[in-house]
Amino acid sequence: MLVVKSAVGDYIKKKGMRLSGASHDKLSELVQGKLDMGIKRAKENKRQTVMPYDL
């Protein structure tokens, strides 16, 4: 898991909603995919640092 479940849960709770376990798994999957895209872009630009614009 890349996303801290308690932090996500707290955020969702503040909005008056609940989050299913499957939704948390999907959110973590989406974050991982976005990070992978950023890593790929940084490597293509010969950098070892992922920058905000890579995401």
R_g of the chain, CA atoms, integer Å: 14
Structural domain that includes position 36: 5-54
pLDDT band at 5 (very low <50, low <70, confident <90, very high): confident
Which residues have CB under 8 Å from 38's CB, separation 6+? 50, 51, 54, 55
Asked whether the whole model's pTM tops 0.85, one would answer: no
Question: How many angstroms separate the CA atoms of 16 and 36, rounded?
Answer: 31
Q: Is the pLDDT of residue 45 over 90?
A: yes
Q: Is the pLDDT of residue 2 over 80?
A: no
- Number of structural domains in the chain: 1
Q: What is the mean pLDDT of residues 42-54?
A: 98
Q: Is the pLDDT of residue 26 over 80?
A: yes
